[in-house]
Amino acid sequence: MKLKVKLIPFYVNDRIIAISENDAKEIGVRGGDRVRVSCGRKRVIAEVKVISGLVEQNECGLTKYLMELLEIEEEAVVEIFPVPKPESFNYIRKKIFGHKLTKDEIYAIIKDTVDGSLNEVELTAFVASNMLRSMDFDEIEWMTRAMIETGETITFERGIVVDKHSIGGVPGNKITLLIVPIVASSGLLIPKTASRAITSATGTADTFEVLADVNLTVDEIKEITERVGRVIAWGGATEIAPADDIIIRVEHPLSIDPKPQLLASVMAKKGSVGAKHVVIDIPVGKGSKVPGVEKGRELANDFVELGRRLGLNVRCALSYGGQPVGRAIGPALEAKEALKTLEERKGSSSLIEKSLGLAGILLEMSGKTSNGYEYAKEIFNSGKAYEKLKEIILAQGGEITKADDVPIGDKVYTLKATKEGAVEEVYNKNIVKIARTAGAPKDKGAGVYLHKKRGEVVKVGDPIITIYAEKEWKLDNAIDVALQEKPVEITGMILDAYPSYKYIGGR
């Protein structure tokens, strides 16, 4: 069937084709079915949406993404043809029922993910079944290799390539913006590809995008890294492990990151850029992805083993993830905090300590020094790291290099303490929920600033958190969330009373 194309102004990155009810009946498809859309020699697989009001008979609506893949404009004529579900659909069902998948089956799932043959419902089922059924180590290795092999890889002509990655899950984790310039200042190459937010209010790609362009191609990553030593790029914009970002897009709304996906997602990106030494940050603590040290160690072993199988030298750092890193949560707020810390060479100790510690591990692994922490501290204190970050921003087309110039949301609300005491607990998940409700990560200026962290003394009227938003209604919603789901727990100094009076002091 031949149909005239019009642009559907939503479903930004999806492989969606909208057709009228009559045309759907005519070719015997229903919503969710797949069709092959072709124009000349270009062809793609798309998922059918039956939306009669949007398109007339003999017309179809395509997303901008699909029009780009087909290299066509509006008014072009495409041919559509129903195609059956791919075989990999049955492999996903096999995983749903708890069976081990073969290498070929995993490769088929990843290949069909990349070429768009699996739709969002099927991918969601795959992710959810991995959460419940998990995968054994062979399956994880095959999935990682399949993700690398279905994308582009980079071979650097010079230098030692190192990389860092965090498994995420702790709010405010803007350490990449400090680690990359510190490590690059030592002469190592660090072509950092990051993903966008999965479970948190901002991912490194969202945060760095406030300062510079993160949509770099593979050629740009190679050229800039070889010229100036480092980049911070969004993995999803490149053809590096393209399955990763497609899978992350279904993980984000579910706010889950199953272990097999997490391992493959991180290590596929490292393997694709040929990193020799890799440091992995595993935040551990209540409200993060890894609740306890025991589980953290298990995950660390998995990363090291997966690295061994792929030929990468991996070291993991279990870091404290029981409360946010630094005080800012949200893309612009985090970019501002990172810049300010580098600019002034001082700031939140959790942010500085963690960044120096991880950078130090990489510096030691690559043989630059036997005291990585001190070397990293020297680079940080000398101001070289700030100069490097400025270079990175400029090399990636950015202009803002001063913390004070970073724009943040102008709709603001500060939640104040109504009682005296000390902060007993900071609830990571609630803080993320407030920041996301305020608009993060989409609205770059949205987020939360945490005035009081664990153990800090609070007086009545002290600011606890400030919520920033770009839109009034999102601020209102975020305030509602903050009032219902406490961002922090404040306990009085007296925790118990008669009959078992117990005074807990020393906070």
Ligand X SMILES: O=P(O)(O)OC[C@H]1O[C@H](OP(=O)(O)O)[C@H](O)[C@@H]1O
> Catalytic amino acids?
257
Tell me, residue by residue from 203 to 242, as one string, x for binding to ligand X by CB under 6 A and - for no binding: xxx-------------------------------------
**Which pair of structure tokens corresponds to residue 90?**
């049955």
C-alpha 221/C-alpha 154 separation (Å) is: 9
Q: Tell whether 169 is in a known binding site.
A: yes
CA distances to 246, 430, 437, 464, 479 from 485, in Å: 31, 6, 12, 14, 10
Among 86, 116, 151, 168, binds ligand CYT (CB under 6 A): 168
User: 3 or 205, CB closer to ligand X?
Assistant: 205
Residues 6+ apart with CB under 8 A from 507: 422, 455, 457, 493
Query: Is 198 a binder of ligand X (CB under 6 A)?
Result: yes
Of residues 156, 162, 212, the one with CA closest to residue 187: 162
In whole angstroms, the minimum distance from the beta carbon of 288 to ligand X comes to: 9
Coil/strand/helix, residue 286: coil
Tell me, residue by residue from 107 to 146, as one string, x for binding to ligand X by CB under 6 A and - for no binding: ----------------------------------------
Q: 3-class secondary structure for 98-128?
A: CCCCCHHHHHHHHHHHHCCCCCHHHHHHHHH
Question: Is the dihedral angle over the CA atoms 40, 45, 51, 57 positive or is it negative?
Answer: positive
Decide: residue 46, CB within 10 A, 0-12 exposed, 13-18 middle, 19+ buried: buried
Do 18 and 60 form a contact (C-beta atoms < 8 A)?
yes
Binding positions for ligand CYT, 208-267, rule CB under 6 A: 257, 261-262, 265-266
Q: Tell whether 354 is in a known binding site.
A: no
Q: How many residues bind ligand CYT (CB under 6 A)?
A: 9
Query: Is 197 a binder of ligand X (CB under 6 A)?
Result: yes
Query: Is 191 a binder of ligand X (CB under 6 A)?
Result: no
Stated as kind and residue range, the H or E segment containing 328 is strand 328-329
In whole angstroms, the minimum distance from the beta carbon of 335 to ligand X comes to: 13
392 binds, among ligand CYT, ligand X, none (CB under 5 to 8 A by kind): none
In whole angstroms, the minimum distance from the beta carbon of 113 to ligand X comes to: 19
Of residues 138, 86, 134, the one with CA closest to residue 261: 134
Binding site residues, ligand CYT, CB under 6 A: 167-168, 195, 198, 257, 261-262, 265-266
Residue positions forming the annotated binding site:
169, 195-200, 204, 265, 289
Residue positions forming the annotated binding site for AMP:
169, 195-200, 204, 265, 289
Binding site residues, ligand X, CB under 6 A: 165-166, 168-169, 176, 194-195, 197-200, 203-205, 257
